[in-house]
Structure 1
Amino acid sequence: MTASNTTVTRERLLLVCPGRGTYNAPEWGSLKRQASGSEWLARFDAQRREAGLPSLRELDGEIPFRQSLHGRGEHASPLIYACALADMQAIDPERYEVVAVTGNSMGWYIALAGSGALTPEDAHHLIGTMGQMMQETLVGGQVLYPWVDEQWRPQWSLRRDLLGLVERLHGEQGAALYLSIDLGGMLVFGGNEVGLARLTEALPPRERFPMRLHQHSAFHTPLQQEVREAARQRLTDAPFRVPRVPMIDGRGHVWTPWSTAPQALWDYTLGEQLVAPYDYTAALRVGIREFAPDRIVIPGPGATLGGATAQALIQLGWKGLDSKEAFQARQADDPLLICMGMPEQRDWLLR
């Protein structure tokens, strides 16, 4: 009698990489806990020392957290990337299969590493360079405002009104305003100081909104044209390659291992992606419809992207989700969305 072979079916994961604003005071020290002895972290810190910057280990474990320091682009972006990379590498490959990778805004750069389109070191160089260039330029800023109700259900008329308001204000008395990120149940607007001031005055106060995002430029708007041109000159030789895992960009376009041209990937990353709106909701929609994941995973640091992701999933009606209450009930029983910045959820995925 021959023993039968047991095949273990791995769960399918859609990996969603976080962007700016996810490493804050509560996350200080998380990199030390997750990756203190990593060889790749030592290589990252060697790159930073060569550039005259404090190491990530110093920022995360020795220099007390200060938003004015840790929130700067040249520090915040690499810290977020390193935390996310540590989490991605901790996922048990025998139980889980990452079927696609996407991200929010700066999370697109992290997705390049998560998919294998850039090596960890090359992604660190790209992320650090872009963070520093954005900080040095710091053109305009971003304002965040929700368009869902208290149960995270979409209010489509409010969304239309918000987009219409921005369109009306743009161009008046020197105001420049654009949609920057379509972020689940929130819209992120980018603009110059005149535009943001007029928008903030026009928006009805709603709890803590409108919210001005600290040390953020007008990402994903035409105001980043100067950064776009400088980045294309400075990173001409960035060694993009064919990804091992499909990636979904900020338009909802899929870059597959069998169809990606590395030069086209470079052109999008250092081109349209910088100056056009980033549609995070579209990326999620394509991810769940095209790749049918069992769960969605957001690497750390923090868990601030979780709410926006849940709001998008409610809009899409994924697995019957239709409200905040339904989402929270499902999370308590068998979480569909795992935020690795939360220790109790991170443990689900460990080797």
Structure 2
Amino acid sequence: MDGSETSQPKARQRVLVVAPGRGCYNKDELGYLQRFHGGKTEFIAAIDDYRASQKQPGVAKLDAAAKYAFKLHTPGENASALIYACAMADFMDIDRDKYEIVAVTGNSMGWYIALACAGALDPKAAITLINTMGSMMQDGLIGGQLIYPEMDADWVKDPAKTALIDACIRDINAEDGAEIFTSIYLGGYRVLAGNEAGLKLAEARLPPLDERYPLRLYNHGAFHSPLLQGVSARGLALLGPELFKRPQLPLIDGSGSIWTSYGADVDKLRDYTLGHQVVEPYDFTLALQVAVKEFAPDKVIILGPGNTLGGPVAQSLIGIRWFDWHAKGDFTARQQQDPVMLAMGNEEQRQLVV
């Protein structure tokens, strides 16, 4: 052997990148931006300059707060920009010599972050869109959301729970003044959106599970439901076509559609983002399943902050037996032996990505 074989560069692994949505920046994530991205001063300053123009606190200041506060960190006008800053900065840190990013998707608000990661929004357009949509309810929430499991203890979808949730939605909408809808298909969970009357009925009628569910999501409006028709209309009025570009990386949206650099209609991408995506259910489960089937990644990288999306990603993949995962035990065993799902909000797994 002359040694020439060992000098060949190692092939990059193909990865799907997943952007998180609201609810992933919590008490444990306080300081995330400074801890991992303090050196990205130009990127953070650009976000904070825009925030200053809107008379809103900068993400650097929010992240550097002495303590985590629900009233400060969870409202959409602050949470959206803060999560975008953390997730986008994480995306910049992915080792491109080691990983080839073959596609990008996201959950709920993570769709906006995915647009930025894929290059369909430049940095200025990204903070403009994310901050605008995140600030739509600063004068008062429109409805709310709750989450309820749709799986068994092995993370396999339970048809009985699906039937229960569907019947609950049907029956509640038959009541005067009550509205509730599927908001997000989230792996082994269903997120419901509704008005207060609908949410209270759902909380009363869905059997308690694990001393936690049904769980109301604090400071979340009725995203991905008809209750946000007005928000969609305002978004379309405020955010023009000039903000959007063809993506440089393939994008998978919340209906399972794929947007590519060569085939994407930019006007339709805007219409989906500010129209359908706002008022119709977001099928994160389907987005994940389409992404792995179409692009066959070696690994899945979940951007931070936090790791709240790890379970739903694994549950979505268990649903189609991807990575030969048939149940929670298969996922756990593989992750301990040779992790193929890497969450950048997990410091041990982060080291395998950056």
Q: Is the 8 A contact 1:115 1:246 kept in 2?
A: yes
Identity over aligned residues, as a percent?
46
State the secondary structure of the residue aligned to 2:138.
Answer: helix
1:173 equivalent among 172, 176, 183: 176
Pairwise CA distance, 1:160: 2.0
Corresponding residue number in structure 2 for 1:121: 124
Q: 2:279 is aligned with what amino acid?
A: V
Counterparts of 1:7 and 1:92 in 2: how far apart (Å)? 15
Pairwise CA distance, 1:238: 4.6
Corresponding residue number in structure 2 for 1:36: 38
Corresponding residue number in structure 2 for 1:281: 285
Pairwise CA distance, 1:263: 1.0
State the secondary structure of the residue aligned to 2:57.
Answer: coil
Pairwise CA distance, 1:8: 2.6
Q: 2:312 is aligned with what amino acid?
A: A
Is residue 233 of structure 1 aligned with residue 241 of structure 2? no
1:190 equivalent among 193, 198, 206: 193
Counterparts of 1:336 and 1:175 in 2: how far apart (Å)? 43
- Residue correspondences, number: 350
Matches within 5 A, 1:100-249: 100-207=103-210, 208-249=212-253
Pairwise CA distance, 1:194: 0.3
Corresponding residue number in structure 2 for 1:74: 77
Counterparts of 1:163 and 1:104 in 2: how far apart (Å)? 22
Q: Is the 8 A contact 2:187 2:313 kept in 1?
A: yes
State the secondary structure of the residue aligned to 1:335.
Answer: coil
Q: Which moved more, 1:184-193 or 1:317-326?
A: 317-326
Is residue 14 of structure 1 aligned with residue 16 of structure 2? yes
Pairwise CA distance, 1:94: 0.7
Counterparts of 1:304 and 1:158 in 2: how far apart (Å)? 22
Distance verdict in 2 for CA 1:313–1:2, change over 3 Å: closer
Pairwise CA distance, 1:173: 2.1
Q: 2:36 is aligned with what amino acid?
A: Q
- Deviation digits for residues 147-173 of structure 1 (CA, Å, limit 9, x no counterpart): 111111111232122112211211312
Q: 1:149 is aligned with what amino acid?
A: D
Pairwise CA distance, 1:37: 2.6
Q: Is the 8 A contact 1:14 1:296 kept in 2?
A: yes
Q: CA RMSD in A?
A: 1.4
Q: Is the 8 A contact 2:105 2:251 kept in 1?
A: yes
Pairwise CA distance, 1:311: 1.1
State the secondary structure of the residue aligned to 1:143.
Answer: strand
Q: Which runs of 5+ in 2 are unaligned?
A: none
State the secondary structure of the residue aligned to 2:25.
Answer: coil
Q: 1:131 is aligned with what amino acid?
A: G
Distance verdict in 2 for CA 1:180–1:2, change over 3 Å: closer
Counterparts of 1:63 and 1:269 in 2: how far apart (Å)? 35
Counterparts of 1:22 and 1:3 in 2: how far apart (Å)? 47
- Deviation digits for residues 195-247 of structure 1 (CA, Å, limit 9, x no counterpart): 00001100000010000000000100000001011111111245100111000
Corresponding residue number in structure 2 for 1:328: 332
- TM-score normalized by the length of structure 1: 0.97
Q: Which runs of 5+ in 1 are unaligned?
A: none
Corresponding residue number in structure 2 for 1:254: 258
